[in-house]
Each structure stands twice: as structure tokens, then as C-alpha cells.
A and B are shown apart, each in its own frame.
Chain A
Amino acid sequence: MNDAELDAVYTRLCKTMTQLGEAKASLFLARFALLAIGEMNDPDASLKLIVEASDGIAD
């Protein structure tokens, strides 16, 4: 994925979430995470991402 493609996906994600509204944003992101886990089809990689995504959030 090049920078422009990442940009386009990022913007689409933001706009979709904006349309759904703040109240449903967590559910949307949770569903997106589940679908991404399924798409990756790699338990070790998924577990690594869970660690990395949570890393530093508590600060």
C-alpha cells in the first residue's frame, strides 16, 4: 500500500465513522478490528497487534 492509498483508506474510515456518529464509533472500530483479524488469519500477528495497539494508551 503506498502513501496515497493509505491516505484514501484513512479518510474513508474517518468519514464512515463520522456518518455513523460518535455513539456507534466504538462498535464500528470493534467490528473493523474483528474483520481485520479474520482477514489476517494469523493468530500470532493478531496477538502482537493487540499488544501494540494497547501499548502506551494508559499514559
Chain B
Amino acid sequence: MSEPEPQLPAARGALSGAVWDALLGGRPPHPLPSPPSLDGHDPYGDDLQLALYLLYELHYRGFDGVPDDREWDPDLLALRRLLEDRFLSALRTDVPPHPDAGQALDGLLAEPTGHDTTGVSHHLQRDGELWQFREYAAVRSLYHLKEADPHTWVIPRLRGRAKAGMVAVEFDEFGAGRADEIHARLFADLMRDLGLNTDYGHYLEATPAEALATVNLMSLFGLHRALRGALVGHFATVEVTSSPGSRRLATALRRLGAEATAQRFYDEHVEADAVHEQVVRHEVVGGLLADEPYLEADIAFGVHATGFLEDRLAAHLLGAWRQGQSALRVPLNDETTLSPR
């Protein structure tokens, strides 16, 4: 089954416009913005985050009409570096330094006793409406349709226990040898049941900056060997928080009357990530700390930066939904909805 090539979305400002022109027009993004001129750009805003997203996507699946070898175009890489510096320095400012990786992860191991009004999965479980869940799935599709891909970049940078544990968990993420159980495939099944378009990158146009930033963070950590500790911290955060969150989302889908195939993605994550959490904490984080103890602050930074950007995304989604408004830049057309059950 062939899938259409991802389409370039519309630019959201000068930076993403320069990238757009360079990708489709084949021109270098001249003049390159210098760091002072980037200072005026919101590091978490639509323009910078989309520009970064477009450049990162060259390392995954690329875009229709853009030659594959633009991935290693030195002008584009130079621009990417400037954008990354702006994003990363903002994160370093907003996420206080934290030396203790174990403490950072322990903080994620406690579950709230009741309904957490700041949590998206809590909201969807108890009060969420179908249109909100569809928006949630559309926004998350940017990552889940390439689930676990950004984390594979860290593999050659790990050794021993950390590498063995990382590869074992990734093997599970990629279906343990079975194409129809690749987690990205399970998510596509979920989207189809919700009447969403399952093409890779289809919802990029609709996705707000807050969600782009969460995916850009993984690409940033994954592509830079210097940030391998932060990548492991990110991966640990995802695996530790996924199981209870997936439980709530599976409950939400049942309450909303979704098909069993839609529920399967989250049911699988409840059980799989209860295991992955243990392997990642003990083998991957523990193994990396034994090998390279000086990376501890980076692991903790990865944990906290992930939480910081996830909290921003949650605030954006819940803020819009509580006013009865779409959280997307382009509301989903509702020509396809679940049939009433």
C-alpha cells in the first residue's frame, strides 16, 4: 500500500517561509538570519517551531517535491543550528538545572489520587468529547506515526546494558518483528477508526506550535550525540508516564464508543510500558549512568524539558477545549465521524 508523499505545509512567518523557499525553490536560505535577528523570534512560536520541524523532517521522510539530498545541505544545516540554539537556550532557561536524574524520574512515578484538572488524559477520560479526542489523535499523530523513530538515533551512542535495554524496548515498539504490531501501525488503526486521515504528516498543517515543539524536542535530542543523555531522559519520561496515561485514554475511548481496534493502541501501551518503564529505568538510565556518570544532569534535563513542553501543550489543548473551541490551526472537517452507537 503506497502512501502519498508528505506535503509541505504553509509557512507561518519569515523563518518557516525561508525554509519553504529553500526546500521548494532549491535556493539557499540567504541571507541566513544571524543570532541577534533570531532573538526577536518566539523560541516556542509557530514560525520557529515549524521552520525547525520542516528541517528535521528531512531526516525522516522528507516532503513531496524536495530532493532527498537536501537533508545534508550545508546552508540548511547552518540555519537549523541557529534555530536549535534559540530553542535549546530557551529550554535551558525555562527548565531549572537539576542534578539528580533518579529524583527526576521518581517524581514521575507518583500518580495523582484524583482527577487532575491539568492533565489531558484525565480530561479525556472523564469529560472529553469525541471531537476533542479526534483533535488529540490528530495532534499526536505527528509523533505516533513515527513512534520510537527519533529514539533509535541514540543506539550507536550507547554501550553495554544501556544499549541492550534500549534496543529491546525499541524492538517491542517496532512490533517485535511483526509489521502489523508496529506501534505506529496500531496508531494508524486508531486514527482510521476515528475517521481521521492516516497519511504520515497529514495533520502538520493543523498542528499548533505547542505540539510541534514536543516532537522537535525528540528530534533535537536524537540527532545530537552531545544530547544523548537528554534523549535517554526523554525516552524514560515517555515510558514512565505512558502506562497510566494510556489507561485513561483507553477508558475515554470505551466511554466514547470507539471500536476495539481504536482501543488496542492504548491497551497495548498500558501493558507494554509497565515493562518498558522498568527496563528503561534500570538498564538504560542505570546503564548510561554507570558508563557516563557525568551525563546525569543531562538525563534530568531531558526529563524536565519533556515535562515542561508537555505541560504547555496540555494548557493549550485544555484552554481551547474548555471554551468549546478547536485547539487546531485548521479545525478537522467533520464529514467523517463515528457512527452513533
Chains A and B are bound partners: no
